[in-house]
Amino acid sequence: EADIYQTPRYLVIGTGKKITLECSQTMGHDKMYWYQQDPGMELHLIHYSYGVNSTEKGDLSSESTVSRIRTEHFPLTLESARPSHTSQYLCASSGGQAQWGYTFGSGTRLTVV
Amino acid sequence: SQKIEQNSEALNIQEGKTATLTCNYTNYSPAYLQWYRQDPGRGPVFLLLIRENEKEKRKERLKVTFDTTLKQSLFHITASQPADSATYLCALDMDSSYKLIFGSGTRLLVRP
């Protein structure tokens, strides 16, 4: 059973709109991550957080922003969506013990038209 | 630059055979390496972790090896089944900072 939830699963939106992708986990994990993945390509880390009020940018430059006001919630926001933002966005969390790996959500497939 | 390489060509095998997938990396000295399974349109699912001081790790039909000299990990699925068909990703924490870098994955197709 997935303990990390992403909404919406699919989103088609017009250029210039502001969007927020939701990610919540019920495992009490301190560490949370956002990855971007295009079809057939590797996951690229765009944001991460090690705890409440901690956010950092990842290795792939992104125009999105994130916040971490509560442990369980790590939303991603695009202030003005563009077609270049079309991609799959995957949220993950980790309890910090490497042997358990990351737990991923099912992803949000975003299409900007 | 740091790089993780997985065979981009799909691996197509007959049910019951052993599938072997390869993960090579450069410019890292990772403390551990992880393997994930990803189905189309879904997030990756964690399978196994192997540490730098472990040569081999097993879990049911899965076996992972880790050669830090060759900078390579091999992922084996024995007695493969059509349900094993998926993309398999390897991932490294390049600087023990709890940030995983992923390879692009190898797609496995198991024919009945």
pLDDT in tens, chain A (113 residues): 559 999 999 999 999 999 999 999 999 999 999 999 998 888 999 999 999 999 999 888 788 999 999 999 999 999 999 999 999 999 999 987 777 899 999 999 999 99
Considering CB atoms only, which of A58, A91, A101 is closest to B46? A101
Q: Are A103 and A94 in contact (CB under 8 A)?
A: yes
Q: Does A5 touch chain B (CB under 8 A)?
A: no
Contact B89 A94 (CB under 8 A): no
Residue-wise pLDDT for B44-102, tens only, equals 999 999 998 898 999 999 999 999 899 999 999 999 999 999 999 999 987 777 789 99
> In Å, what is the CA distance from A86 to each residue of A13, B38, B83?
10, 20, 30
Considering CB atoms only, which of A42, A100, A103 is closest to B102? A42
Q: Are B34 and B53 in contact (CB under 8 A)?
A: no
pLDDT at A62 (0 to 100): 83
pLDDT at B1 (0 to 100): 58
Instruction: Give chain B positions within 8 Å (CB) of A94.
Output: 98
Considering CB atoms only, which of B4, B43, B99 is closest to A107? B43
Pairing relation of β-strands B56-59 and B62-67? antiparallel
Contact A45 B45 (CB under 8 A): no
Whose tokens are 């990842």? That residue is A58
Contact A58 B104 (CB under 8 A): no
Closest among A40, A38, A88 to B8, alpha carbons compared? A40
Residue-wise pLDDT for B11-20, tens only, equals 999 999 999 9
pLDDT at B2 (0 to 100): 61
Whose tokens are 């879990």? That residue is B59
Contact B32 A98 (CB under 8 A): yes
Q: Does A90 touch chain B (CB under 8 A)?
A: yes
Phi/psi region, residue B3 (left: phi>0; alpha: psi -120 to 50; beta: rest), is beta
Please give the average per-residue pLDDT across B5-30, as a whole number.
92
